Amino acid sequence: MSDVIEVRALRKSFGRTRALDGLDLGVRAGEVHAFLGPNGAGKTTTIRILLGLLRKDGGEARLLGGDPWQHATRLHARLAYVPGDVTLWPGLTGGEIIDLMARLRGPGSAIDPKRRQALMERFALDPTKKARAYSKGNRQKVALIAALASDAELLLLDEPTAGLDPLMEAAFRECVNDERHGGRTVLLSSHILSEAEALSDRVTIIRDGRAVETGTLAEMRHLTRNLVDAELAGPVSLDGVPGVHDLVVQGTHVRCEVDHAALNDVLGRLTAARVLSLTCRPPTLEELFLRHYSSERPVAGAPR
Amino acid sequence: MTVLARPGWAAPGLTGTGDLTRLALRRDRIGLAAGVYVIVVAVAGTAYAFKRLYPTAAGRAALAATGGGNPALRFLYGRIDGDSIGSLTTWRYGIWAGIFAALMTIFVVIRHTRTDEEAGRLELVGSAVVGRQAALAAGLLTAAAASVGVSVLLCVALPLAGLPAAGSAALALAIGCCGLAFAGIAAVAAQLTSGARSARGIALGALGVAFVLRGVGDSAGASGPSWLSWASPLAWIQLTRPFAGPRWWVLGLPLAVFAVGTALAFVLAARRDLGAGLLPDRPGRATASRLLSSPFGLAWRLEWATLLGWVTGYVFTFAACGAAAKGIGQLFGTSSALQREFTRLGGQAAITNAYLAALMLLAGLVAAAYATATVLRLRSEETGELAEPVLATATGRIRWALSQIVVAVAGTVVLLAAAGVATGLGYGLRVGSAGHQVAQLLGAAFAQLPATLAVAAVAVLLFGLWPGAAVPGAWTAVGLAVAIELFGQVLQLSHWILDISPFTHAPRLPGGTVTAGPLLWLCAVALALSAAGLAGLRRRDIG
């Protein structure tokens, strides 16, 4: 089955600023795909190109099998979008805006009143309030309910939990899990790693307009090193052993990063020196992230 | 121990007022300077023009008699006390300068209080070492500074235009105090609602009521309810009688309104939460009505209230101006220079027709401003990131833009119709041929439609092709058309320049002749500019 979103070597500049510099992104049907990156990495620009709001400078972008620029309106009938910074018309109520967005998606995309009501209760939103009276979190909820209540096959969510309190964030995660089981495809842009870790099937990490890593979390960890932290009875020499990085030895305390291929060899050397305590774990997404975004090379596990 | 309040302020609630006032003056420096300049130039220029146009006492007496005798003109401009140049100036521009001063202070006060609060800027400011009432105090101080500026400059400018010093001071102070009175009213309005728009609506409504109260009072005969004028801060300017034995004590009335309004606003501000209003927000609909189901429905929903305000303004203004048309010939008969100018401005026909044609031109020019503002909402929706969610639905760009443009065109048609019908009724009822005048002036108003749309089409063009230049560019186009129409012939500009304005090509009706050619041309220009703009919109980035 072809990908719902296929982006290859996508480029986009605003004047001198290069927002996207050869981005690749593939989102498969039915998966929750996290699109991770810090502010300014190009996440929103990518989504705007996918929505046909911005024109790409180069590369390829296909959405639901169509060209997002040429067939924008036709494709939009099949997707729902939650912008990163939700602004609403101050004079309209939340309920009106939710209905309006559904109707603008075209005939046949009317929302199920029961689902609308259920979501309203789940997110504790008062639909009779004028949008000017809503807080940032409530505006976010309006946009989320409008998207989740639709029967669009693809959800584009740009940092959807910014402004939600932890309780509402939990409600949002439940909803996304429901969507996954319902077979919808979700592209979830975020800079919150725990969110991606909890929700996504696959992850693309983007930095300076380019995808630096993509795959399932398991795959990505496979690419990375293990963090080894051991307390030994005697001294051990790991200097110059291939596959060992960032070695720190403080007396009998050893800390280092070890490539997967070298793990067995290193553990052998450690047990030879008698291990008193040992932790060996994959890096957390935070540590991956730090590695991708710190200007220096690996900091994960480095001593402070 | 930490000292929470900065020294120098007795009330901690006012801490930081000085900084906020400087910030307000910095943000408003251009707008305030322009507002003060317009008021001073309008009043002093009127005094100078009267001196030039009516050099003889007999001419002034005749003008005072006709102007003061026409109830419709009294409704628009108020009463005349005496026939000196100063009295005529007070009649012609006293109330209107007061209205401009009031508009200025209302916008300033609301902008620095409720607008900032609604936008959340006050929250940011309030978290610094700033008292909870500092913004209100700063808004009032800024408005007061503008009012004082108007008074001081008029005190200097009016004697320079040849008016006696004491009367000049009285008129200058009366206008400034009128601005202060409405600053006080706006300060209270800003406490009542949580939305800046409705707060502004309340304050502007008060200004409208003040205008109508004194209009009824001023136009009433000796047996009528002329006491109503005393209830209106706008009338207090003329009731001060600046050039006919000044009644200085009348100045105490607007100052009292300012003081009471300010005190009330501070009391109310101290009792409410940040962001809240005293009037509760009414809950709205939980679901959208059938109408709100298309981009057009959305555009209409966003614009109808604004249009209603414009139509109301048009109906009142043009009914009054139309009613004033009867006897307008005698009014200008007393000054041959003015008569020449007026005839030239409006066309070749009789002065009444020229006056009515000038009114219809004015209706077209102001409608062009309405249409431009309505089209430019597309740009503010885009920069405000409200266009993005709409365009992310099955709504295409062209459909989205056309919906707003259709509302703009429909609104313009309604406005011109209102101008034609209101002028026709106002004039026709007084000369006893309402049906005929309504039909004639409706046609005259609609003759301005192609030119009006051609000006607004510039906004569409710029929005599509050079969105960054859309707002300044479109307003420059409106300003250019207004300037060419109002001053072009007086300044005897070359016809190359005059021809830039679409209104130069619109027929002068009633009285002129209509040829289809220019009208069709103007329509074609409007369509071509709009089509080019929409074509540009298809190609460009949004946001």
- Domain of A88: which CATH number? 3.40.50.300
> In sequence order, what DSSP letters do the residues of B475-521 get, joined into one string?
HHHHHHHHHHHHHTTTTT--HHHHTTSGGGGS--TTTS---HHHHHH
Nearest CB among A95, A104, A130 relative to B295 is that of A104
B336-345: long-range contacts at Cβ-Cβ below 8 A with a sequence spacing of 24 or more?
Answer: B337/B52, B337/B53, B338/B53, B341/B490, B344/B489, B344/B490, B345/B489, B345/B490
Residue pair A140/A95 in contact by the 8 Å Cβ criterion: no
Beta-sheet strands, E only, within B327-477: none
**Cis peptide bond prior to B12, omega within 30° of 0:** no
Same domain, A182 and A264: no
Q: Which residues contact B496 (CB under 8 A, 6 or more apart)?
A: none
- Say whether both A236 and A256 belong to one domain: yes
B540 touches chain A (CB under 8 A): yes
Mean pLDDT on A8-13: 94
Integer Cα distance of A214 and A187 in angstroms: 13
Q: Which of A53, A73, A128 sits opposite B395 (nearest CB)?
A: A73
pLDDT exceeds 60 at position B346: no
CB B234 within 8 A of CB B214: yes
Quote the pTM value: 0.76
What is the torsional sign of CA B3, B7, B11, B12?
A: negative
B299/B179 same-domain check: no
A78 in a structural domain: yes
pLDDT at B431 over 70: yes
- Domain-located, residue B509: yes
Q: What is the pLDDT of residues B144-160, one digit of tens each?
A: 999 999 999 999 999 99
**Phi and psi (nearest 5°) for B454?**
-60, -40
Alpha-carbon distance values, B122 to B13, B24, B113, B145 (Å): 14, 12, 8, 21
- The answer to whether A76 contacts B395, with C-beta atoms less than 8 Å apart, is yes
User: What's the rounded mean pLDDT across residues B63-91?
Assistant: 85
CB B359 within 8 A of CB B318: yes
Domain-located, residue A25? yes
Is residue A292 assigned to a domain?
no
Beta bridge partners of B211: none
* Residue ranges in chain A assigned as alpha helix (H): 43-50, 72-76, 94-104, 113-122, 136-148, 166-181, 193-199, 217-223, 263-272, 285-293
Confidence of residue B331 (pLDDT cuts 50, 70, 90): low
Domain end: A168, A193, A220, which one?
A220
Count up the domains in chain A and report the number. 2
Query: Are residue B253 and residue B382 in the same domain, yes or no?
Result: no
- Is A248 found in the same domain as A212? no
Query: Greater confidence, B130 or B295?
Result: B295
Torsion angle defined by CA atoms of residues B91, B93, B95 and B101, in that order, rounded to the nearest 10 degrees = -160
What span, in angstroms and rounded, lies between the C-alpha atoms of B377 and B372?
A: 9
Using a pLDDT cut of 90, give the percent of chain B over it: 47
Task: Indicate whether A272 and A181 sit together in one domain.
Answer: no
Q: Do B321 and B448 sit in the same domain of this protein?
A: yes
In-domain check, residue A67: yes
Please judge whether B389 and A143 are an interchain contact, meaning their C-beta atoms are less than 8 angstroms apart.
Answer: yes
pLDDT above 70: residue A293: no
A89 touches chain B (CB under 8 A): yes
Instruction: Please say whether the beta carbons of B186 and B179 come within 8 A.
Output: no
A269-278, B248-257, B281-290: lowest mean pLDDT where?
B281-290
Residues paired with A130 in a beta bridge: A93
**Angstrom distance (rounded) from CA B133 to CA B358:** 48
Q: Which residue has the tokens 């939009």?
A: A76
Give the best-scoring range by mean pLDDT among A26-30, B192-196, B456-460.
B456-460
Does residue B192 form part of some domain?
A: yes
Strands A154-158 and A79-82: parallel
Domain membership flag for residue B439 = yes
Are residue A215 and residue A154 in the same domain, yes or no?
A: yes
Contact check, Cβ <8 Å, B283/A129: yes
How far is C-alpha A293 from the chain's CA centre? 15
Place of tokens 């009414």: B282
In a domain, residue B7? The reply is no
Mutate to test the interface with A, among B294, B386, B393 (most CBs of A within 10 A): B393
CA distance A127 to A145: 11
pLDDT higher than 50, residue B537: yes
Provide the pLDDT for residue B332: 55
**So what's the pLDDT on residue B401?**
97
Question: Do B302 and B270 sit in the same domain of this protein?
Answer: no
Distance from C-alpha of B28 to C-alpha of B35, rounded to nearest angstrom = 10
B350 vs A192 pLDDT, higher one: A192
Instruction: Give the domain-ending residue among B249, B275, B301.
Output: B275
Indicate if the pLDDT at residue B3 is higher than 50.
Answer: no
- Taking residues A82-86, report their average pLDDT: 89
A115 and chain B in contact, CB less than 8 A: no
Q: Burial-class residue A1 by CB neighbours within 10 Å (0-12, 13-18, 19+).
A: exposed
Contact between B210 and B162 under an 8 Å Cβ cutoff? The reply is: no
Return the DSSP state at B56: S
d(CA B56, CA B35): 33
DSSP B326: T
Give the highest mean pLDDT range of A3-12, A188-197, B3-12, B274-283: A3-12
- At B246, list the tokens: 């000044």
B 112-151 residues inside an 8 A Cβ radius of A: 118
For residue B437, pLDDT beyond 60? yes
Q: Which residues in chain B have their CB less than 8 angstroms from residue A91's CB?
A: 197, 301-302, 305
- Residue B324 and residue B245 share a domain: no
DSSP code string of A34-64: EEE--TTSSHHHHHHHHTTSS--SEEEEEET
Residues B438 and B541 in one domain: yes
> What's the whole-number mean pLDDT along residues A177-185?
87
Give the angle subtended at the CA of B465 by the CAs of B464 and B466, to the nearest 5°.
110
Q: What is the pLDDT of residues B359-369, one digit of tens each?
A: 899 899 999 99
CA angle A103, A105, A111 (to 5 degrees): 55
- Please tell me if residue A81 touches chain B, with a CB cutoff of 8 Å: yes
Q: C-alpha angle with apex B305: B300 to B308, nearest 5 degrees?
A: 105
Q: Is residue B288 part of a domain?
A: no
Task: Note whether A76 and A212 are same-domain residues.
Answer: yes
What average pLDDT does the segment B317-321 reach? 85
From the list A55, A72, A95, which residue is nearest B287 (CB)?
A95
| Same domain as A234, residue A199 | no
Q: Does one domain contain both A32 and A181?
A: yes
Tell me whether A248 touches chain B (CB under 8 Å): no
Same domain, A103 and A90: yes
Q: For chain B, what is the domain count? A: 2
Backbone phi, then psi, for A253, in 5-degree steps?
-100, 125
pLDDT at residue A122 greater than cutoff 70: yes
- Encode burial over A241-271: b for 16+ CB neighbours within 10 A, e otherwise: eebbebeeeeeeebbbbbeeebbebbbebbe
Determine the Cα–Cα distance for residues B384 and B162; give it in Å rounded to an integer: 50
Domain interval for residue B45: 12-275
- pLDDT of A50 higher than 80: yes
pLDDT confidence bin for B67, thresholds 50/70/90? confident
Burial of B291 (0-12, 13-18, 19+ CB in 10 A): exposed
Question: Residue A229 is part of a domain; what is its CATH number?
Answer: 3.30.70
Q: Judge whether B286 lies within some domain.
A: no
Residues B253 and B308 occupy one common structural domain: no
A190 located within any domain: yes
How many Å apart are CA B449 and CA B460, to the nearest integer? 16
Q: Which of A285-299, B183-197, B413-427 has the lowest mean pLDDT?
A: A285-299
Mean pLDDT of A276-295: 73
* Of the ranges B228-232, B293-297, B456-460, the best mean pLDDT one: B456-460
Interface probe for B, chosen from A14, A57, A70, A104 (most Cβ of B below 10 Å), is A104
Residues 6+ apart with CB under 8 A from A278: A228, A229, A230, A231, A270
On whether the CB atoms of residues B453 and B445 are closer than 8 A, the answer is no
Please report the pLDDT score of residue B342 as a whole number. Answer: 58
Domain boundary among B213, B247, B275: B275
Judgement on whether residues B161 and B250 belong to the same structural domain of the protein: yes
What are the phi and psi torsion angles at A154 (to 5°)? -125, 130
Cα gap A299→A296, rounded to integer Å: 8
Q: Are residues B220 and B358 in the same domain?
A: no
Q: What are phi and psi of B283, to 5 degrees?
A: -65, 145
Tokens of B372: 């431009």
What is the span of the domain harbouring residue A110?
A: 5-220
Mean pLDDT, chain A, integer: 86
Amino acid identity, position B537: L
Q: Choose the closest CB to A104 out of B194, B287, B394.
A: B394
Q: What is the pLDDT of residues B482-524, one digit of tens each?
A: 888 877 776 677 888 888 899 999 988 887 788 889 999 999 9
**Mean pLDDT computed over B340-354:** 61
- Does residue A273 sit in the same domain as residue A183? no
Residue A295 resides in a domain: no
In percent, the amount of chain B with pLDDT more than 70 equals 91
B290 in reach of chain A (CB within 8 A): no
Do B51 and B193 lie in one domain? The reply is: yes
From residue B476, how far is each of B146, B322, B462, B489, B500 by CA, in Å?
A: 26, 29, 12, 19, 13
Instruction: Please judge whether A95 and B396 are an interchain contact, meaning their C-beta atoms are less than 8 angstroms apart.
Output: no
Domain match, B264 and B370 both: no
Q: Provide the pLDDT confidence category of residue B338 given band limits of 50, 70 and 90.
A: low
B396 — contact with chain A (CB < 8 Å)? yes
What is the band of B6 on the pLDDT scale with cuts at 50, 70, 90?
very low
The mean pLDDT value of chain B amounts to: 87
**CA A59 vs CA A9, A25, A50, B249, B411: distances in Å:** 5, 12, 12, 77, 44
* Mean pLDDT, rounded, for A11-34: 92
Residues B109, B187 contacting (CB under 8 angstroms): yes
Asked which of A196, A220, A244 is the last residue of a domain, the reply is A220
Amino acid in position B139: G
Among candidate residues B275, B303, B333, the one where a domain is terminated: B275
A108 and A240, same domain (yes or no): no
The DSSP secondary structure of A173-231, one letter per residue, reads HHHHHHHHHTT-EEEEEES-HHHHHHH-SEEEEEETTEEEEEEEHHHHHHHSPEEEEEE
User: Using alpha carbons only, what angle is made at residue B194 by residues B189 and B200, rounded to the nearest 5 degrees?
Assistant: 40
Can you give the pLDDT at residue B371?
Answer: 95
B494-505 exposure pattern, b = at least 16 Cβ within 10 A, e = fewer: eeeebeebbbbb
**Does the pLDDT at position B344 exceed 70?**
no
What is the average per-residue pLDDT within A296-304? 40
B381-412 residue pLDDT tens? 999 889 999 999 999 999 999 999 999 999 99
Is residue A247, in this structure, part of any structural domain at all? yes
pLDDT for the residue B11: 65
Is there a domain that residue B306 lies in? yes
How far, in Å, are A33, A42, B321 from residue B362 at the CA level? 59, 50, 11
Q: Residue B166's pLDDT is what?
A: 93
Contact B287 A143 (CB under 8 A): no
Does A75 fall in a domain? yes
* pLDDT at B1 (0 to 100): 41
* Same domain, residue pair A213 and A236: no
Give dist(CA A150, CA B142) in Å, integer.
49
B343 burial type by CB count under 10 A (0-12 exposed, 13-18 middle, 19+ buried)? middle
Chain A with chain B: Cβ pairs closer than 8 A: 122
What is the tens place of the pLDDT at every residue in A128-157? 998 888 888 899 999 999 999 888 899 999
Evaluate whether B370 touches B412 at the Cβ level (below 8 Å).
Answer: yes
Query: Quick check: is B172 in a domain?
Result: yes
Sort out which chain A residues have CB atoms less than 8 A from B393's CB and list them: 76-77, 101, 104-106
pLDDT at residue B8, rounded to an integer = 44
Alpha helices in B272-350 (DSSP H): 295-323, 328-333, 336-346
Cross-chain residue pair A73–B295, CB shorter than 8 Å? no
pLDDT at A304 exceeding the cut of 60: no
- Greatest mean pLDDT range, B130-139, B161-170, B321-330, B405-414: B405-414
